Amino acid sequence: MRDATRMLWSPAHVQGADAEEAGGVAAFPSTRQRVADGARFCGLFEASRDEASRVEGSPVEGSPLEGSPVEGSREAGAAALLSVVSTKGALLVEELRLDVRKAQSYESLTPAIPAAGWYERRLRDLFGIEPLGHPRLDPLAFPVPAGSAAPRGEGGDPTLPMTPDLTPLPAHVQGEGVFTLPYGPVRSGVFEAVEVLIETSGEDIAHLRTRIFYKHRGIEARFCGLDVADGALLAERVEGVASVAHAVAFSQAIEQIGGIIVPFEAQLVRVVHAELERVANHLDTMVRHTEAAGQAVAYAVLSHHKERVQRLRARLCGSRFGRGVVVPGGVTRPLRLRPSEVLAAVTPLERQIGEDIRRLMDTPSFVDRLRKTGVLAQGDARRFAVVGPVGRASGQPEDVRSSRPYGAYQRLGQRIVEAHDEGDALARQRVRIAEIAGAFHLVRQAVDLLDELGEPQSWRVGVPSVTGRSIGWAEAPHGELLYLVEAAQGRLVQVTQRSASFHNLAAYPAAFPKDIFTDVAFIEASFGLSMAGAAG
Amino acid sequence: MPWIPRGLRHGIVTSGYPRRPDGYGPGFFGHVEVASVRSDAPGMPVRSDATEALAAAAAECPTGAITLDGGVVRLDRGRCILCGRCVALAPSTFRADPGFETSGLGRAALVVPATDDDETALAEARTRLAARVRGLRRSIHVRHVDAGSDGAEEWEVAALTNPVYDVQRLGVFFTASPKHADVLLVTGVGTAGMEAPLRQTYDLMPEPKVVVAAGVDAASGGMVHEGYAARGGVGGLVPVDVYVPGSPPSPFGILHGILAAVGILGSRRHVGAEAPKDAAAAP
């Protein structure tokens, strides 16, 4: 089997090019071609201006990367962009270098690849890099006030406090009687801060936009200069409800750079924590559905189950969110319960959750609120390359646990969740129900194997002073999570995280046009997005 | 009506806290306890860690929560993210304990062990707060605002309405309108974008009002700290009365903070003795 996890994007780039040399040729030609040929667009990111993380050497054997190295052709301090696409179980990276002496701009990818729209807006806000020909460049990640430099770009200083420009956005839909209803960022209830702008003529939703910058913490800038162990602690706090997935994806990037082999037992412990995290997150979306539907008993029953899962997680590691366990090189501690104790806790939990969810899905007044609500058509899901349970409910089956298996997933039997094609909130609910069962199945396998293998020599191997760049990934509860990591002498030079929530939010408005106000709570819950991960 | 017998099947799962102690403690890493230099503190071991071990614990702390001042080791729980490194490096000084009653009146109250000056200031602050919230003891309405959390805090705040914590039994309700709110419960590092909305929410609340900041992010910014978009906690954005440590704080911890803020419970520096002190909490 080809080991796709040995992927380094330096020094072998897939067809890197200088913006100035590329005159006449559209930026990112091979990305455009691959996406046209059916590859999935995974994102557009900044690369570090620092050359320290670049290492000499030839492409790693078996690397999915092709093309000739362009080492040394980039001037120090020049900005570069990286586009990432996924095809046939591998990630392909294309680099575009920008000349700092000229205007920092390139030809926008968005007209050809709609999924790139949010990435280009984010890069413009944070790094001041202009995508020429972008159809709608509203501020997204951080509305930089007029006359100020982008906080992380040329002339910007990410340590100086900035105040965002709070000017309202112009309306998208024009017409008689159409008005914009702003909702948030202080929501009615216990929710993460986000502003939703609903353009409407009364009841029907004509257009909907989300503004995520309220929560933007600039957390990625905080990675610079940390050592890799502190980096894992920060990664856990990027998206608190998916702490384990973030720590795993970040740690795997470091382990790829350092060529570190994590003890198999430690990989199994990671699986147990990650899969319980998935169960908790999927239960959370169902709790929010029942709350929106006014199903008081179902709400009480399911929120009790979610609390039991959180308490089980605390019994396994001391943290209700699985924090402080996953570190580069392995895990800090084994499971605190014996395998038989884990099974004794998991078995009744799984059975009771299953029974209560079946009861819920037999309740017509609940199911009717989800059916045909918030339909994300398959065409839209494909155009926006939607990932995770939302994608699987709209005909996009990819799950990176099986398409690019990492860690212990390479050796555990997985129940593949069938993709649905209805694309409504009910299909998303059904995908999550199947994933809960699959997650418990993986937990039982991992625990059985841990029982068989016994205590390993070590749960954690030492991490040398790593230098290099790589991409780590994981299937978080929300979908594919990517970490682009550059390190030099054991210090982080640049880290960019791409949560599934950021990626999927771009497709969110496409699920609304046939719906009315009262559906908003269901659509929001069924997308199950984490605003902290999306806002960064 | 199939749901009603379904609900009854699970029996009563609701905690008796604060009337009765809650046994949810073993296995839960609630806070780090610091051995006093004086060995007269009950239950605390006599410190025997080498100076080098203490220096290493302070240096390795990812948020700089540990200070060494002569022989006195102090831990700022408003910075501590419960990573457990200090417990591993200097185990006779730092101990991972269960127990969630760690909220403190004012930012300085999160630094342990306290000085005598702190104790005096705390007593005064408690008297002032108690006088202010005298009218708030029957039913409390809470307005939650996320000012840049990582999302975990929202789960723990929302958990308060599940049948285990069931805060309605204590007369605590979440409200949509700040004009009905007595308590402002803030989570997150205090982002640039939430500065104005948070302030507006606070200004719209009627007097008397109290502010509870939940989590180390809200106390100090935690791992995120400060930058172009993060303000290093919410203390500079609204006048915070009670801080709840934890990354994230547990639902019981948040509840303790809310009850302490409105004078139903005294906000203590040290953890109540009711939580079982099992060694199982050690990381």
Q: How, if at all, do strands A479-488 and B66-69 pair?
A: unpaired
Q: B112 has which bridge partners?
A: B75
pLDDT of residue A313: 96
B224·A222 Cβ contact <8 A = yes
Range of the domain at B119: 104-261
The number of distinct structural domains making up chain B is: 1
- Complex ipTM: 0.91
Contacts of B29 in chain A (CB under 8 A): 314, 318-319
Torsion A171-A175-A176-A178 (CA) sign: negative
Which amino acid is residue A138, in one-letter code? D
pTM score = 0.92
Vertex B114 angle, CA B111 and B119, to 5°: 120
What whole-number distance in Å separates Cα of residue B66 and Cα of residue A192?
31
Averages of pLDDT over each 10 residues, chain A, 536 residues: 37 42 68 94 88 46 34 54 90 83 83 96 94 92 93 91 89 83 89 92 87 96 96 97 98 96 97 98 97 94 96 94 96 95 96 96 95 95 96 95 95 88 96 97 97 94 93 97 95 96 94 87 94 95
Whether B162 is in a domain gets the answer yes
Torsion A9-A11-A16-A19 (CA) sign: positive
CB atoms under 10 Å from CB of B23, counted, come to: 13
What SS3 class is residue A476?
strand
Q: In chain B, which among 103-142 make CB contacts under 8 A with chain A?
A: none
Q: Which residues of chain B have pLDDT under 70?
A: 1, 25-27, 36-47, 265-283
Which region holds residue A39: left if phi is over 0, alpha if psi is between -120 and 50, else beta? beta
Instruction: Kindly write down the DSSP assignment for every residue of A401-413, as one continuous string.
Output: HHHS--GGGGTS-
Cβ of residue B83 closer than 8 Å to a chain A Cβ: yes
A359·B225 Cβ contact <8 A = no
Peptide bond into A405 cis (omega under 30): no
Q: In chain A, which among 104-143 make CB contacts under 8 A with chain B?
A: 142
Cβ of residue B225 closer than 8 Å to a chain A Cβ: yes
Whether B188 is in a domain gets the answer yes
CATH number, residue B115: 3.40.50.12280
- The CATH architecture to which A219-535 belongs is Orthogonal Bundle (1.10)
What SS3 class is residue A138?
coil
Whether B253 is in a domain gets the answer yes
Q: Which phi and psi (to 5°) does residue A390 adopt?
A: -65, -45
Contacts of A162 in chain B (CB under 8 A): 192, 228-229
Which residues fall within 8 angstroms of residue A458, CB to CB, at 6 or more apart? Answer: A263, A330
Residue located via tokens 């995508």: A131
pLDDT of residue B113: 87
Q: How far apart are the first and last CA of chain B?
A: 46
Q: Tokens for B233? A: 């906690």
How far apart, in Å, are the Cα atoms of A10 and each of A68, A82, A147, A382, B177?
Answer: 11, 11, 35, 29, 53
Whether B174 is in a domain gets the answer yes
Whether B148 is in a domain gets the answer yes
Size of interface A-B (CB pairs under 8 A): 209
Contacts of A190 in chain B (CB under 8 A): 144, 154, 157-158, 161, 174
CATH classification code of A4-158: 3.30.460.80
Q: Which phi and psi (to 5°) does residue A81 adopt?
A: -115, 150
Whether B269 is in a domain gets the answer no
The percent of chain B in helix, strand and coil, each rounded to the nearest 5, is: 35, 15, 50
Whether B273 is in a domain gets the answer no
